[in-house]
């Protein structure tokens, strides 16, 4: 028993992603890609067709575990990211969700008043997300057996980004209605954000308990906010989530990704206590981030997903510039946003070879 435990501790220590998140300048850096499972892979499209709709895919542990593992098998990534979606949490709180073909996500009816807020069942959310937690358990067991160096990342949307979708009812725009409401009725918007922060922390804690070894908080639309609003709706809720997760699972590293934050990334990295890494989006200059963010915090990012579509010498030059800027500090190679459907899988293989060569 004791030696088993020792062996599994040693294995965890040896996982390159976890070493980088612990503050070690692992080189060549560990690598995974946001949306590494998705429509650009024929094996994903096959499982997606079998599942029918997208919510069914996210809530069928066998299928979700299979698509989680596909990019790890094909490319030898250093991490698997749980296959699910940030909108599964509002769905689990009782807001109906569908992914309409060619339309993106639809949350209908939208949440815009006190009655809609009162109707959300935050207490039942983790229980309704049980299939997702079962996916985490299965993926973790498969990785332990088949790919012991690969770490499993769990995730959730950050309160502001999830609130944007819940209020607007759909994506595709600039979430003007949600952002206006945040000014017009900050008490109401603040209640929604607080409720989401609590549910998000509970959900992340449950993922850690099911076997997630690192957690990521996606705030995709953080960059729409001016500094005062960014502090209130991005930094404070992220700090609340991080505090709650750290109280229960101080050993599980948290990655924050306030997309398009620009110079506010420095304040986010400094004020969200307990973060182990911050994500750089496509627009971020990695040389700026390297001096703006504490040297023991890992940076993650940030190749342009479209450079990955183009491949070849253009992609190589971009990737090498990022590697040069990050050398000598804790770093996780990734894209600046998710893999897009038109990406040739061979270009991902080319990128993996390049990063592995350091």
Ligand X SMILES: Cc1c2[nH]c(c1CCC(=O)O)Cc1[nH]c(c(CCC(=O)O)c1C)Cc1[nH]c(c(CCC(=O)O)c1C)Cc1[nH]c(c(C)c1CCC(=O)O)C2
Residues that bind ligand X (CB under 6 A): 34-39, 48, 54, 81, 83-87, 99, 104-105, 155, 171, 218, 220, 338
Using DSSP's 3-state secondary structure scheme, residue 127 falls into: helix
CB of 81 to ligand X, least distance (A): 4
Based on the residue annotation, tell me whether 44 is a catalytic residue of this protein.
no
Alpha carbon distance 335, 81 (integer Å): 14
Which residue among 19, 40, 44, 48 is the active-site one?
Answer: 48
Q: Which is nearer to ligand X, 29 or 105 (CB)?
A: 105
Burial label for 122, CB within 10 Å (0-12, 13-18, 19+), is: middle
Residue 350 labeled ligand binder: no
Smallest gap, in angstroms, from Cβ of residue 82 to ligand X?
Answer: 6
Smallest distance, Å, CB 279 to ligand X?
Answer: 10
Q: What's the CA gap between 196 and 162, in Å, rounded?
A: 8
Told to judge if 247 belongs to the known catalytic residues of this protein, a careful annotator would answer no
Q: Measured at CB, which residue is nearest to ligand X?
A: 220
Which residues are within 8 A (CB) of 86 and not within 5 positions of it... i.e. 6 or more apart?
155, 156, 157, 161, 162, 165, 218, 220
Q: Is the Cβ of residue 77 or residue 329 nearer to ligand X in the bound state?
A: 77
Environment class of residue 342 by beta-carbon count within 10 Å: exposed (0-12), middle (13-18) or buried (19+)? exposed
50 is in an annotated binding site: no
Catalytic residue (one of 40, 44, 165, 203): 165
> Has 337 been labeled as part of a binding site?
yes
- Is 203 known to be catalytic? no
Catalytic residue chosen out of the listed positions 78, 85, 219, 281: 85
Cα separation, 317 vs 337, in Å, equals 18
- Return the H-helix or E-strand segment holding 254: strand 254-258
CB of 2 to ligand X, least distance (A): 36
**185 labelled as ligand-binding?**
no
Q: Is the dihedral of CA 213, 305, 317, 259 positive or negative?
A: negative
Q: What is the C-alpha to C-alpha distance for residues 257 and 268, in angstroms, rounded to an integer?
A: 9
Q: Which is nearer to ligand X, 329 or 348 (CB)?
A: 348
User: What is the spatial distance between Cα 204 and Cα 256, in angstroms, rounded to a whole number?
Assistant: 13
End-to-end Cα distance, the chain: 38
Q: Which CB sits closer to ligand X, 53 or 209? A: 53
Please indicate if the annotation marks 35 as binding a ligand.
yes
Whether residue 190 contacts residue 229, with contact meaning beta carbons closer than 8 Å, is answered with no
User: CB-based burial of residue 272 (10 Å sphere; 0-12 exposed, 13-18 middle, 19+ buried)?
Assistant: buried
Nearer to ligand X, 206 or 329 (CB): 206
Minimal distance in Å, beta carbon 150 to ligand X?
14
Note if 39 is an active site residue. yes
* 84 among annotated binding-site residues: no
48 catalytically annotated: yes
Task: Find out whether 220 is annotated in a ligand binding site.
Answer: yes
Catalytic residue among 39, 170, 231, 232: 39
Cite the annotated binding site by residue number: 35-39, 85, 165, 220, 337
Cite the annotated binding site for substrate by residue number: 35-39, 85, 165, 220, 337
Residues that are catalytic:
35, 39, 48, 85, 165
């Amino acid at each position: 028993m004791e030696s088993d435990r020792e062996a599994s501790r040693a294995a965890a220590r040896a996982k390159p992603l976890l070493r980088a998140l612990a503050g070690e300048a692992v080189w060549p850096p560990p690598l995974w890609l946001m949306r590494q499972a998705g429509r650009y892979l024929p094996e994903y499209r096959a499982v997606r067709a079998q599942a029918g709709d997208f919510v069914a895919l996210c809530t069928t542990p066998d299928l979700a575990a299979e698509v989680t593992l596909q990019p790890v098998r094909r490319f030898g990534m250093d991490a698997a990211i749980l296959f699910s979606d940030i909108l599964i949490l509002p769905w689990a709180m009782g807001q109906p969700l569908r992914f309409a073909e060619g339309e993106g996500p639809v949350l209908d009816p939208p949440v815009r008043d006190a009655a809609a807020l009162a109707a959300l069942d935050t207490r039942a959310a983790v229980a309704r997300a049980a299939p997702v937690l079962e996916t985490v358990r299965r993926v973790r067991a498969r990785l332990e057996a088949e790919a012991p160096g690969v770490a499993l990342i769990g995730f959730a949307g950050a309160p502001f980004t999830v609130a944007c979708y819940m209020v607007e009812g759909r994506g595709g725009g600039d979430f003007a209605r949600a952002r206006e409401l945040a000014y017009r009725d900050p008490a109401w918007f603040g209640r929604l954000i607080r409720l989401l922060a609590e549910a998000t922390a509970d959900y992340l804690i449950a993922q850690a308990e099911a076997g997630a070894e690192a957690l990521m908080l996606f705030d995709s639309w953080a960059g729409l906010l001016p500094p005062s609003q960014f502090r209130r709706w991005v930094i404070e809720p992220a700090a609340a989530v991080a505090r709650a997760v750290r109280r229960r699972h101080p050993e599980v590293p948290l990655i924050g990704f306030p997309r398009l934050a620009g110079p506010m990334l420095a304040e986010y990295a400094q004020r969200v206590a307990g973060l182990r890494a911050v994500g750089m989006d496509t627009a971020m200059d990695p040389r700026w981030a390297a001096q703006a963010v504490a040297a023991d915090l890992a940076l993650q990012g940030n190749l342009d997903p479209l450079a990955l579509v183009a491949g070849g010498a253009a992609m190589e030059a971009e990737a090498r510039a990022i590697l040069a800027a990050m050398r000598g500090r804790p770093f996780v190679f990734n894209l600046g946003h998710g893999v897009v459907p038109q990406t040739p899988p061979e270009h991902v293989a080319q990128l993996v070879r390049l990063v592995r060569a350091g």
